[in-house]
């Protein structure tokens, strides 16, 4: 059979990893596909001497490569949302299939990109955009296709999970671990996307569309980072039997869909609570199969290339068939996407961990519990710690699920008490039971 011709645009960690994987596993991949996969072009300002690029055309004109006749599939691994956007749209307009690892691009411009792809009869595959080598896109789009998906919760940023794991295991402060993560290459020099939850929000946007059949709506994701987490709260959570993880959560409710990224207490006996270091995991609750969990490496050259090349194999296996591929881009048929409302933060419902800094005198606890009780907020546990510096007492309260708007009012009332010395620390809590 004719070899399938690939252009790899971007020769950084991921692009280089894809080149290497296609070469190293060429025999195994050909056994699976029945086709030879040939890299005809790489797009990069310079070659990489550590890669074998013999016989492959090298150019820094990425838009030009995306138009070439000897290209069936364009692999976009340059990142960003400007040149990447133009390259992907050009490839689509020239009838090329696209494989991309670019979550920011798809979360922000995916509706436009997938529409163009449908119109052009090509496919834009993006397994590598979420949770690296874990085939979670395929699982949601195909493996769980018989299910109505109720919710999903994922550790989908490895840098954040590494930081939280170190904070818990070694009692270290956030800034301290972040500096180490940067030194190790886990975190970027500008770590904003990772630690402020933006990267996770991009990925959650994609997962939520696939799970529920809704358009991509990155701008509606409630996003809270891990920069304000203290070692103190990590320790108190642990005393109460919980771990704090930075989760992306997408959940159906009667009122609409919750899309949120935030630090979350989860019971320590949940499998996902024990996913540590830079690993990723996604827990999916569906109406037929119940809970399933998918775990693995969410980043790095090998895992990301694994997902990119799996997408290439999927495309190759579909060659000779009609249309834009068996599986709709966003899991549901384009005309079957629903405009289910996405809830704003006030409308979301979760349980809470509250930490109060209270003066050590009688009556404070009665005042606080009175406020919660009048707001209809049920308390699951209270932990009062011994007196700290300045004579204050930390009081930790775990609540049952409550509407965020209700909790906001209650917290304002608690903070107005004269015996409360500092803003209330709040962290959301999810039981994640099936």
Smaller CB separation from its own copies, 142 or 360? 142
- In angstroms, the Cα distances linking 206 to 154, 166, 215, 295, 339 are 12, 28, 9, 18, 15
| Number of residues in contact with its own copies under rule CB under 8 A | 63
Active site residues: 203
* Contact call for residue 215 and its own copies (CB under 8 A): no
Exactly one of 42, 88, 312, 402 binds its own copies (CB under 8 A); that residue is 312
Q: Is position 10 annotated in a ligand binding site?
A: yes
Subset of 232-271 contacting its own copies (CB under 8 A): 271
* Contact call for residue 26 and its own copies (CB under 8 A): no
Binding mask 113-132 for its own copies (x = CB under 8 A): --------------x----x
* Contact call for residue 135 and its own copies (CB under 8 A): yes
Exactly one of 11, 77, 144, 351 binds its own copies (CB under 8 A); that residue is 144
Q: State the minimum distance, in angstroms, from the CB of residue 424 to its own copies.
A: 34
Q: Is position 170 annotated in a ligand binding site?
A: no
* Contact call for residue 72 and its own copies (CB under 8 A): no
| Stretch of 63-71, 134-142, 226-234, 347-355 contacting its own copies, by CB under 8 A | 134-142
Q: Is position 219 annotated in a ligand binding site?
A: no
* Contact call for residue 407 and its own copies (CB under 8 A): no
Smaller CB separation from its own copies, 148 or 228? 148
Exactly one of 11, 207, 331, 393 binds its own copies (CB under 8 A); that residue is 331
* Contact call for residue 15 and its own copies (CB under 8 A): no
Smaller CB separation from its own copies, 34 or 171? 34
| Stretch of 48-56, 80-88, 306-314, 418-426 contacting its own copies, by CB under 8 A | 306-314
* Contact call for residue 29 and its own copies (CB under 8 A): yes
- Residue list, annotated binding site: 9-16, 103, 188
């Amino acid at each position: 059979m004719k070899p399938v011709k690939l252009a790899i645009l971007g020769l950084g960690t991921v692009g280089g990893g894809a080149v290497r994987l296609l070469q190293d596993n060429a025999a195994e991949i050909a056994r699976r596909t029945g086709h030879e996969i040939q890299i005809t072009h790489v797009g990069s300002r310079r070659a990489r001497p550590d890669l074998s690029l013999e016989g492959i055309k090298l150019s820094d004109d990425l838009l030009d490569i995306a138009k070439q006749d000897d290209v069936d599939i364009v692999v976009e691994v340059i990142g960003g949302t400007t040149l990447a956007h133009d390259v992907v749209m050009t490839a689509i307009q020239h009838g090329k299939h696209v494989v991309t690892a670019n979550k920011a691009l798809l979360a922000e411009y995916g509706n436009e990109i997938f529409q163009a792809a449908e119109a052009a009869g090509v496919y834009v595959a993006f397994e590598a955009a979420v949770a690296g080598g874990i085939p979670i896109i395929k699982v949601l789009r195909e493996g769980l296709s018989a299910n109505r998906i109720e919710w999903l919760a994922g550790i989908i940023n490895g840098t954040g999970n590494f930081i939280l794991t170190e904070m818990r295991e070694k009692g270290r402060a956030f800034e301290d671990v972040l500096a180490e993560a940067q030194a190790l290459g886990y975190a970027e020099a500008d770590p904003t996307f990772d630690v402020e939850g933006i990267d996770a929000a991009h990925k959650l946007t994609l997962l939520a569309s696939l799970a529920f059949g809704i358009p991509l709506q990155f701008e509606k994701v409630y996003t809270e980072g891990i920069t304000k987490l203290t070692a103190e709260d990590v320790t108190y959570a642990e005393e109460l039997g919980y771990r704090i993880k930075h989760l992306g959560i997408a959940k159906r409710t009667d009122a609409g869909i919750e899309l949120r990224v935030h630090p979350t207490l989860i019971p320590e006996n949940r499998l996902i609570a024990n996913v540590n270091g830079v690993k990723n995991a996604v827990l999916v609750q569906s109406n037929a199969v119940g809970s399933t969990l998918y775990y693995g490496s969410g980043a790095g050259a090998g895992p990301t290339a694994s997902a990119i090349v799996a997408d290439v194999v999927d495309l190759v296996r579909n060659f000779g068939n009609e249309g834009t591929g068996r599986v709709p881009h966003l899991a549901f048929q384009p005309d079957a996407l629903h405009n289910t409302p996405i809830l704003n933060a006030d409308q979301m419902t979760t349980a809470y961990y509250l930490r109060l800094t209270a003066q050590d005198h009688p009556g404070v606890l009665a005042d606080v519990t009175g406020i919660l009780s009048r707001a209809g907020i049920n308390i699951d546990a209270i932990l009062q710690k011994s007196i700290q510096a300045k004579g204050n007492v930390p009081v930790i309260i775990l609540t049952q699920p409550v509407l965020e708007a209700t909790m906001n009012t209650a917290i304002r009332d608690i903070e107005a008490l004269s015996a409360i010395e500092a803003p209330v620390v709040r962290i959301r809590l999810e039981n994640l039971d099936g």
